Structure 1
């Protein structure tokens, strides 16, 4: 059945299982993958997350900070949500990107991103720890965030409100011993409240893609 659906189950002991993910507190024993499985073996991975309601400047931020990373061989990992997640995946389609779903692969969510999901399956990679027929449930999305942060060297937060779900990903990245980066913005914008709080708590302020490279280079040595 899975073969007919072009879905590959990957266990913890499989050679394609993400190496960094093995070192988190609660790695999934099994992940389901659809697309280019070789992306799981990439070493330069960065998760990019943020608000579902980005400002007009968000795409400019992605183009300035994230796109140069893509062009230099970094694989972008995100959750295929509306907003920053989807924008990051969209910009990375010509490069390398992995989406981690909070539902089974037969029920991509949100529906508005179904065209993106099909593109990702065709040329990139989509994974989930949930069985293919698992429907999206509210509790699954914060749970899967540990995978987004756990398989990457660091997490970049681009615009987030004070109670944004992307802050959960940032907190999990810290718990996993990974770097957290945040982009500053206007003190008058609600979508910058969460990122400013992260910076106050010790996240690395970034204004340029090289800020991230300088911090993560030692992790790859």
Structure 2
């Protein structure tokens, strides 16, 4: 069996994967760097470096065949797959503390576009925030044509996707579930517009994985990684949106925050971030200025990344 994605799915569910995750990723990365990432070479490396995994994997041929059959079925339905170390794997994910071993997506691998911005915020945003997005985020998108990354939830997420599509920008919808169990269910209506706009719906979970509360926070680190910076439109204190902002900071990404009135509870978390050193964004002009600055910094920082053959982190 030589289906790399199916084999990687088997590894991901292996009882020893979490314990040896960094070692496994290092093997994938090294083989990917020299263009020899395939099942045969992985098995050789496992036998040499991680024999405890090799012998149990070698005894799992029946399970591997089942996964490969399911993978083929999804491919025929238009689902595409990418594995850690492959050419299409998002470069920014190598900087994550817990990068996904596998990704599945509908659409185009548009995350390879360098001009990206992650947008996050409340599921129940204020009218003023939505109006700001209609005016300022829309003007920024029209001028800069960035890739907009968000999570597909109601409120700020869906508004960000909608503004991007209306301004002919591609957008990435990062799911807290598998592609076969899209959450929220209304996202099914977004599939064609997102794909027609050159974007994609992306998931690191098994195709049939249903949404669970803990997957939102887990998913958010991927949103943070895929943007050159993260724009936080509105967040209450102790909101999930703040987790995404903190994850962006941990990845060395800039966090830009739209300010609000101190007495407005919708912006309690936003103001906390600003007091902790996040950058205040007032309008489209600010967005463009910071965006260009971030892209220049990204290009300078990317020189030599991974050049030694070792993982960037």
Superposition TM-score, scaled by structure 1 size: 0.93
Tell me whether 1:17 sits opposite 2:85 in the alignment: no
Tell me whether 1:33 sits opposite 2:33 in the alignment: no
- For 1:13 and 1:188, how far apart are their aligned partners in 2? 48
1:151 aligns to what? Answer: 226
Higher RCO, Cα 8 Å, sep 6+: 1
Match of 1:113 among 155, 173, 187: 187
- For 1:220 and 1:60, how far apart are their aligned partners in 2? 30
2:162 aligns to what? Answer: 90
Superposed displacement of residue 89, structure 1: 0.5
- For 2:297 and 2:134, how far apart are their aligned partners in 1? 24
Superposed displacement of residue 122, structure 1: 4.3
Q: Which string of whole-angstrom CA distances, capped at 9 and with x for unpartnered residues, describes residues 138-177 of structure 1?
A: 1111001110001211111011110211100000000111
Superposed displacement of residue 10, structure 1: 0.6
- For 2:185 and 2:195, how far apart are their aligned partners in 1? 15
* Contact persistence 1:158–1:182 (CA under 8 A): yes
Aligned residue-pair number = 220
The list of structure 1 runs, each at least 4 consecutive aligned residues, that deviate by more than 4 angstroms after superposition, is none
Q: As a proportion of its length, which structure holds more helix?
A: 2
1:128 aligns to what? Answer: 203
SS in 1 for 2:252: coil
1:213 aligns to what? Answer: 288
SS in 2 for 1:3: helix
Superposition TM-score, scaled by structure 2 size: 0.67
185-194 or 26-35, which deviates more: 185-194
SS in 1 for 2:148: strand
Q: As a proportion of its length, which structure holds more strand?
A: 1
RMSD over aligned CA atoms reads 1.5
Superposed displacement of residue 191, structure 1: 1.0
Match of 1:103 among 177, 181, 198: 177
2:78 aligns to what? Answer: 6
Superposed displacement of residue 136, structure 1: 0.6
Superposed displacement of residue 76, structure 1: 0.5
Higher Rg: 2
* Contact persistence 1:102–1:136 (CA under 8 A): yes
- For 1:140 and 1:100, how far apart are their aligned partners in 2? 11
What are structure 1's unaligned runs of at least 5 residues? none
- For 2:282 and 2:242, how far apart are their aligned partners in 1? 19
Superposed displacement of residue 96, structure 1: 1.1
- For 2:252 and 2:287, how far apart are their aligned partners in 1? 16
2:132 aligns to what? Answer: 61
- For 1:29 and 1:211, how far apart are their aligned partners in 2? 36
Superposed displacement of residue 91, structure 1: 1.3
140-149 or 18-27, which deviates more: 18-27
Q: Which string of whole-angstrom CA distances, capped at 9 and with x for unpartnered residues, describes residues 105-140 of structure 1?
A: 111111233312443244321100001111111111
